[in-house]
């Protein structure tokens, strides 16, 4: 699998990552291990976690999978997130530090390659975040830092205090959720697609070399279901299926390749725990989407090109 630079971290990472949100929900450890094995066999070396996923159970399952598969920690890039509590958010220094200690214990590792703040906390005190990041870095517990679902103003505010560069921002993006690019195609127009909902997030991240990590790349809306075969997305399913047949891959691989085609160098986060689906989506690494096909898919998903 091809690699890409993760922000300004100096890390070269697999251009696809496996999101482990559902790993702890697999029926058994065997199924969890098989999902991780499918990802590794397909060339994925980057694994995304969060302390809230299955109450920490996904991280525990992953650690056991590493042991079962005899994976070398040095060959993997492990990312986790903290800050979401049950019904509220917490970016306090105390919570960040305790969360990381729990993550490291569950993952059975001495360090995280990347720690993301998981969704914005409107009560954030950036000085506390900065102090937490400094302590984690000095102790060798976290090597790089980033955010999730934050807009440019929030990142700028955080960067005014935090010393470390933000190397990644995990946001929702895919053919079923396109606000990240809609307004940039409808500049100075008086209709809904022209509404700037994120403060120019895409351009900001490209300018500051912050890697965007699209989550739920095959979902419509906020966990509204997979777009493939959905009654609201029959036209885009048709186009995806046609291109897939031409390139001898699955329609899901083409949908992922549509994201990879964007020159921003995004790193999609795959969410399936089914080995065959993971392998199918990883075929996206070899799919070539032309400029004409990219816009055809965008229009087929129900979007307008002015």
> pLDDT tens, 175-205?
999 999 999 999 999 999 999 999 999 999 9
Supply 66's token pair: 């590493």
Q: Which fold has domain 3-229+265-271?
A: TIM Barrel (3.20.20)
Q: Show which residues are catalytic.
A: 53
pLDDT of residue 178: 97
Domain ranges of the chain: 3-229+265-271
Convert the pLDDT of each residue in 160-170 to its tens digit.
999 999 999 99
Convert the pLDDT of each residue in 261-270 to its tens digit.
999 999 999 9
Q: Is the pLDDT of residue 223 over 90?
A: no
DSSP codes joined into one string, the chain: --EEE-TTS--EEESSEEE-TTGGGSSSHHHHHHHHHHHHHTT--EEE--TTGGGGHHHHHHHHHHHHHT--GGG-EEEEEE-EETTEE---HHHHHHHHHHHHHHHT-S-EEEEEEES--TT--HHHHHHHHHHHHHTTSEEEEEEES--HHHHHHHHTT--SPEEEEEEE-BTTB-HHHHHHHSTT-SSGGG--SSSSHHHHHHHTT-EEEEESTTB-TTT--BSTT-GGGHHHHHHHHHHHHHHTS-HHHHHHHHHHTSTT----EE----HHHHHHHHGGGG----HHHHHHHHHHTT----
Give the chain's mean pLDDT: 97
pLDDT of residue 258: 98
pLDDT of residue 291: 98
């Amino acid at each position: 699998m091809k690699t890409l630079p993760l922000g300004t971290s100096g890390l070269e990472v697999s251009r696809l990552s496996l999101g482990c949100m559902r790993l702890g929900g697999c029926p058994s450890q065997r199924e969890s291990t098989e999902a991780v094995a499918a990802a590794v066999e397909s060339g994925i070396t980057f694994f995304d976690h969060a302390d809230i996923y299955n109450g920490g159970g996904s991280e525990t399952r992953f650690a056991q999978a590493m042991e079962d598969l005899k994976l070398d920690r040095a060959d993997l890039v492990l990312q986790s997130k903290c800050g979401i509590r049950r019904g509220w958010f917490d970016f306090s220094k105390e919570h960040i530090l305790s969360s990381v200690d729990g993550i490291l214990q569950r993952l059975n590792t001495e360090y995280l390659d990347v720690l993301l703040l998981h969704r914005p906390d409107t009560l954030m005190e950036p000085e506390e975040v900065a102090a937490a990041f400094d302590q984690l870095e000095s102790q060798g517990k976290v090597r790089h830092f980033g955010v999730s679902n934050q807009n440019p103003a929030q990142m700028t505010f955080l960067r005014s205090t935090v010393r470390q560069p933000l190397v990644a921002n995990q946001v929702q993006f895919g053919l079923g959720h396109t606000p990240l690019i809609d307004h940039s195609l409808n500049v100075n127009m008086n209709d809904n697609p022209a509404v700037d909902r994120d403060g120019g997030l895409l351009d900001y991240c490209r300018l500051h070399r912050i890697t965007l990590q699209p989550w739920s790349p095959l979902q419509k809306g906020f966990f509204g279901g997979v777009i493939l075969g959905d009654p609201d997305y029959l036209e885009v399913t048709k186009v995806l299926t046609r291109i897939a047949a031409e390139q001898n891959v699955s329609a899901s691989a083409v949908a992922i390749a549509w994201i990879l085609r964007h020159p921003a160098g995004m790193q999609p986060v795959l969410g399936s725990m089914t080995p065959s689906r993971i392998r199918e989506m990883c075929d996206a690494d070899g799919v070539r989407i032309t400029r004409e096909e990219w816009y055809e898919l965008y229009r087929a998903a129900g979007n307008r090109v002015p």
